[in-house]
Structure 1
Amino acid sequence: MNAQAPQSATLGADIRALRKARGLTLSEIATRLDRSVGWLSQVERDMSEPSISDLRQIAGCLGVPMSMLFTHSAAPSDEQGYIVRASARRPMGSGEEGLIEELLSPDLTDDFEMVHSTFQPLSKMQKPANRPTQEVGYMISGQLDLVIGGRSFSVGPGDSFRIKHEPYQWSNPYDVPAVAIWVIAPPVY
């Protein structure tokens, strides 16, 4: 075992959930990693601990930032799988477009994930996304401009919206952050 790798009872389950959400087999990922299917299976069952280099390669294969796999916070054993403390949320994404996201779900093993998103002032999604997901967002504060399936909307505190297998893009052209809670099915992070 590598002493530098993160300690988490959910790391393997998250890797498995992300792999399955992308429709990839153990064999496909193992081939890309130049590792055995047995080794990857043990990682997914938390029986083998991947090195930092392994995590970097796994994150690349799954199309997620390494921080998603690396920043598992050890919750007290009686809270694992049930509670996510505000101070223990896992950051997701690079934040380069002005979007800061944190995972609110305890892990990625459910049929959905819940995400806390903060859209920085004067930020914009550079390219529209079109994911094979159903997503519902609820605005907590600020205002967000959305283009969903070619239609433009502006949403604010208390408003909610749905994106269902269609192209979308967001922007926050305003001077204050916008904060939203998203539920995404199936998990994509």
Structure 2
Amino acid sequence: MTDHTPQPATLGADIRALRKARGLTLAEIAARTGRSVGWISQVERDLSEPSITDLRRIAQALGAPMSILFSHHATPAGEQGYVVRAGSRRQMGSGEEGLIEELLSPDLTDDFEVVHSTFRPGAALPEETHRPTQEVGYMISGQLDLRIGARSFTVGPGDSFRIRNEPHHWANPYDEPAVAVWVIAPPVY
């Protein structure tokens, strides 16, 4: 039987969850980072603290933005694993592409993640992306142009969409931000 007792969101727990979501072993991460299996295991158990250089290598080995490994806000003990307050969302990515993403999930230990995405006016994904996920998005405000496989759509408030392990691209050529909530499985951040 699986224990669903929430665990505190820690750097080590997030690294372990990301590694497992990507189907990687400790040995594979160790080889990609130039560190030992034992040391990676200690980091995942919060027994060793990685340097910034180590974090950069770990994030690269996991194919994740380094920023997801930061921004652990203090959460009251009774809320850990259950509640994410609006002012305590973890920002993901750099926002350089005009996309600001915040993690709505309490941590990265589930089989899915929920993300709040704000697409700035004029923002566009630099190139088509393809990842082994299933994703559902729900538009809160604004409009977004999507290309999923060979099909093109414009979605707006109240619309939802699904991407199943398909190449896709997004753009917001409009004058107002577009805001969406995405559910992604398995987690990619």
Cα distance in 2 for partners of 1:133, 1:9 equals: 23
Count how many residue pairs are aligned between Structure 1 and Structure 2.
182
How far residue 155 of structure 1 moved from its aligned partner, in angstroms, is 0.6
Is this contact kept in 1: 2:139–2:181, CA < 8 A?
yes
Are the counterparts in 2 of residues 9 and 46 from structure 1 also a CA contact under 8 Å? Answer: no
Distance 1:160 1:73 in 2: 30
Aligned to 1:77: 77
Write the deviation string for residues 28-64 of structure 1: whole angstroms up to 9, x where unpaired. 1112222221121121122322222221221121122
Counterpart AA for 1:179: V
**Superposed CA RMSD:** 1.3
- The match for 1:127 is 127
AA aligned to 2:177 is: P
> Structure 2 stretches of 5 or more lacking a match?
1-7
Given that 1:55 and 1:70 are in contact with CA atoms closer than 8 Å, whether structure 2 keeps it comes out as: no
Structure 1: distance between partners of 2:31 and 2:156: 46
TM-fit CA distance, 1:129: 0.8
Using the TM superposition, give the Cα deviation of residue 9 of structure 1 relative to its aligned residue in structure 2, in angstroms. Answer: 4.2
Unaligned stretches of 5+ in structure 1? 1-7
The answer (yes or no) to whether the contact 1:146–1:170 under 8 Å persists in 2 is yes
Match of 2:4 in 1: none
Aligned partner of 1:20 in structure 2 is 20
1:116-156 CA distance string (max 9 Å, x none): 00000011111111110000000000011101111011110
Residue 98 of structure 2 aligns with an amino acid whose one-letter code is G
Q: Is the 8 A contact 1:19 1:25 kept in 2?
A: yes
Q: Is residue 89–residue 103 contact of structure 1 (8 Å, CA) maintained in 2?
A: yes
Which runs of structure 1 show a deviation greater than 6 angstroms over 4 or more consecutive aligned residues?
Answer: none
Instruction: Give me the TM-score of the superposition, normalised by structure 2.
Output: 0.92
| Cα drift, residue 24 of structure 1 | 1.5
8 Å CA contact 2:9–2:81 kept in 1: the answer is no
**CA separation in 2, counterparts of 1:19 and 1:98?**
27
Identity between Structure 1 and Structure 2 (%)? 76
In the TM superposition, 1:100-179 aligns within 5 A as: 100-179=100-179
TM-score in terms of structure 1 length: 0.92
Which position in structure 2 is the counterpart of 1:49? 49
The alpha-carbon distance between structure 1 residues 140 and 53, as it changes in their structure 2 partners (threshold 3 A), is same
Amino acid in structure 1 at the alignment position of 2:182 = W
Tell me the residue number matched to 2:99. Answer: 99
Residue 123 of structure 1 aligns to a residue in which SS? coil
Give, as a single letter, the amino acid of the residue that structure 1 aligns with 2:103: L
Give the distance between the partners of 2:50 and 2:9, measured in 1 at CA.
Answer: 13
